[in-house]
Chain A
Amino acid sequence: MSALLEGFAFKRKDSLLHRLDPRVKLVYAIAMMVMAGVHQELVPLLILLLAQVPLALLGKVGRELARTLRGALPLVLLILATNALFTWYAGRLDVYALERILALAVRFLAFVASFSIFTLTTSPDDLSLALEQMGVPYSFCFMFRAALRFTPVMAREARITMDAQRARGLELDKGGPLARARRYIPILVPLVVNAIKRAWAMAEAMESRAWGASEKRTSLYVLKMGRRDYLALLLIAVATVAAVLARYYLSFPCILPYITAALGLRP
């Protein structure tokens, strides 16, 4: 599970994708949802999934993407298994149904991949700036940034608190689940209290630096779309239109029957 989460953490690198405007990347992630969403068949969805691999390489995040997809496998297997079970129970499990179920799994992976590429190549700073410029109220962007800023701090405090309480004889690994949960109270209380104190101290500091002075807040950093960004947007638009059209005007063969036949398995 942590491998899955890690696959979404921003990696500071210099690549083509890193240099694109975060809004473009967000549009891409949304576009992929549309593209993958309209298709039901395995072949086009596989194409959409595999098309993201060169994209990941372009962003120099190929390895991280692989890790994300690997981390998503348990969920994928769950989707496959539950759907297969229900279909079998309804007596409709044949090679075509199996293909449709696989298609669902591939679609899920396509979503994960696109979103992962987006977050891997976009710094949280840029992301919140993008949100700000897209009209999200500054308070929300600030909360987002502050949460990111203080997460490592709180993680460190949690470790210190655990050490301090263990040094007073608290044994966290003993006992059944309920007893163990209660043993975490000495960890959680200081954490929560400190979080509240921190929020108060931050509020004082913010006020002291003119928070709320003006309705019209300026920003030092401004995201400007460049030629490359518009080009990328164009490509995304074309791809999306093509994908949607393909759904309605092209028909794709089912490949699973051929594969199973080639492998000598019965349908």
Chain B
Amino acid sequence: MPIEVQDVWYVYPTGVEALRGVSLTVHEGDFVVIMGPNGAGKTTLVKTLNGLLKPTRGRVLVDGVDTRKATVAELARKVGLVFQNPDHQLFCETVEDEIAFALKNFGFPEEEIEERVNWALRTFGLEEYRDASPLALSGGEKKRVALASVLVWDPKYLVLDEPTLGQDHAQKEVLRELISGFLGERAVVMVTHDIEFVVDFRPLPRVVLLAEGKVLANGRAEEVLTDPELLRQASLLRPQVPETLYHLRELGLPVRTDVLDLWEARDIILSARREPR
């Protein structure tokens, strides 16, 4: 059963219309990336998925349950939301406690808590930090602790808000591997600006572009992220691979521009070169 966002409007108490008729479906096992400029409503949208915000109009169904009729704690069992900045949630004395926090809130039995915490520490490479203070870790490690503390309760839908913020290239690769490992078993919804990070995923995700509270586009990454007009409307930088191909076509070379893969682009360039002019 999917998450269904049905014509959702959200108006903040200040009167700001953050979402203006957004519709979207996330099936089990889907990989969806939500992109758009600041203020487009991306964070508002993900907060409606676990009930933190209830739609002003329209509704959100999680596995058939209307979010207005359930508490955040109930919805959170299925929809795990990892926030942007780990500094806004880490508070325990040890990494172990931090990871176990949600399990205790959800009322898991003791033995299961221990088992799951061990799993999380292993999967996220945090075993050596078991007894360390989460507040004393590096940026990349904190990110992994935050991620671990959500995945530990095995939510069906994993929602990540700007996972690559403040991370260097190597740390992003680690995140990419971890996230890729969770694809397929569960649905992953990722909000991000980092277009070069998105285009390196295999398989490529479905991309939803949001601007001014409305859905601009909802389709395959190869189509959405290579369309200059859509990218402009969504205030996104054009990824270097299709951008290069685009310029090449302007210069007269017969190349396709809906390509995000570096190796595919290389092959296209090499074969275009051998074409008789």
Q: Measuring CB to CB, which residues of chain A are less than 8 angstroms from any residue of chain B? A: 157, 160-161, 163-171, 185-186, 189-190, 193-194, 197
**B14 at interface, CB cutoff 8 A:** no
The answer to whether residues A193 and B135 also contact, given A163-B83, A168-B89 and a CB cut-off of 8 A, is yes
The answer to whether residues A168 and B87 also contact, given A163-B47, A163-B52, A193-B135 and a CB cut-off of 8 A, is no
- The answer to whether A190 touches B88, judged by C-beta atoms less than 8 angstroms apart, is yes
The answer to whether residues A190 and B76 also contact, given A163-B47, A170-B105 and a CB cut-off of 8 A, is no
- The answer to whether A186 touches B91, judged by C-beta atoms less than 8 angstroms apart, is yes
- The answer to whether A167 touches B52, judged by C-beta atoms less than 8 angstroms apart, is yes
- The answer to whether B83 touches A164, judged by C-beta atoms less than 8 angstroms apart, is yes
Tell me, in angstroms, the Cα distance from A165 to B105 when the chains sit together: 10
Interchain pairs with CB closer than 8 A, number: 63
Chain A residues with CB below 8 A from B47, complex form: 163
Rounded to whole Å, the gap between the CB of A190 and the closest CB of chain B is 5
Chain B residues with CB below 8 A from A193, complex form: 87, 91, 135
- The answer to whether A160 touches B105, judged by C-beta atoms less than 8 angstroms apart, is no
- The answer to whether B89 touches A169, judged by C-beta atoms less than 8 angstroms apart, is no
- The answer to whether A171 touches B83, judged by C-beta atoms less than 8 angstroms apart, is no
Tell me, in angstroms, the Cα distance from A166 to B135 when the chains sit together: 20
Chain B residues with CB below 8 A from A167, complex form: 50, 52, 72, 76, 80-81, 83, 150
**B113 at interface, CB cutoff 8 A:** no
**B71 at interface, CB cutoff 8 A:** yes
Tell me, in angstroms, the Cα distance from A111 to B120 when the chains sit together: 60
Rounded to whole Å, the gap between the CB of A107 and the closest CB of chain B is 38
Rounded to whole Å, the gap between the CB of A163 and the closest CB of chain B is 5
B89-102 vs A, Cβ < 8 Å mask (1 yes, 0 no): 11100000000011
The answer to whether residues A157 and B76 also contact, given A163-B47, A163-B52 and a CB cut-off of 8 A, is no
CB-contacts of B84-136 with A (<8 A): 85, 87-91, 101-102, 105-106, 135
Chain A residues with CB below 8 A from B77, complex form: 169
The residue that A169 contacts in the complex, of B83, B91, B105, with Cβ under 8 A, is: B105
Closest chain B residue to A160, Cβ basis: B88
Rounded to whole Å, the gap between the CB of A199 and the closest CB of chain B is 14
Chain B residues with CB below 8 A from A185, complex form: 91
Rounded to whole Å, the gap between the CB of B52 and the closest CB of chain A is 5
Tell me, in angstroms, the Cα distance from A160 to B77 when the chains sit together: 19
Task: Show 10 residue pairs from A and B whose CB-CB distance is below 8 angstroms, ordered by the A residue.
Answer: A161-B89, A163-B52, A165-B89, A166-B73, A168-B89, A186-B91, A186-B101, A190-B87, A190-B88, A190-B90
Closest chain A residue to B89, Cβ basis: A164
Closest chain B residue to A187, Cβ basis: B91
Rounded to whole Å, the gap between the CB of A33 and the closest CB of chain B is 37
Q: Chain B interface: which size bin?
A: 20 to 34
The answer to whether residues A164 and B76 also contact, given A171-B105, A186-B101 and a CB cut-off of 8 A, is no
Chain B residues with CB below 8 A from A169, complex form: 73, 76-77, 102, 105-106, 153
**B149 at interface, CB cutoff 8 A:** yes
- The answer to whether A189 touches B88, judged by C-beta atoms less than 8 angstroms apart, is no
Chain B residues with CB below 8 A from A170, complex form: 73, 101, 105
Tell me which of A163, A168, A193 has the highest count of chain B C-beta atoms within 10 A of its own C-beta: A168
Chain B residues with CB below 8 A from A161, complex form: 88-89
- The answer to whether B101 touches A168, judged by C-beta atoms less than 8 angstroms apart, is yes
Tell me which of B71, B101, B105 has the highest count of chain A C-beta atoms within 10 A of its own C-beta: B105
Closest chain A residue to B149, Cβ basis: A168
Chain B residues with CB below 8 A from A160, complex form: 83, 85, 88
Chain B residues with CB below 8 A from A165, complex form: 89
The residue that B72 contacts in the complex, of A157, A166, A186, A194, with Cβ under 8 A, is: A166
CB-contacts of B47-97 with A (<8 A): 47, 50, 52, 71-73, 76-77, 80-81, 83, 85, 87-91
Rounded to whole Å, the gap between the CB of B138 and the closest CB of chain A is 14
B208-227 vs A, Cβ < 8 Å mask (1 yes, 0 no): 00000000000000000000
Closest chain B residue to A192, Cβ basis: B91
Tell me, in angstroms, the Cα distance from A18 to B80 when the chains sit together: 50
Tell me, in angstroms, the Cα distance from A194 to B88 when the chains sit together: 8
Closest chain A residue to B46, Cβ basis: A167
Tell me which of B89, B149, B153 has the highest count of chain A C-beta atoms within 10 A of its own C-beta: B89
Tell me, in angstroms, the Cα distance from A163 to B91 when the chains sit together: 14
Chain B residues with CB below 8 A from A190, complex form: 87-91
Rounded to whole Å, the gap between the CB of B263 and the closest CB of chain A is 39
Chain B residues with CB below 8 A from A171, complex form: 71-73, 105
Rounded to whole Å, the gap between the CB of B229 and the closest CB of chain A is 34
Tell me which of A163, A167, A186 has the highest count of chain B C-beta atoms within 10 A of its own C-beta: A167
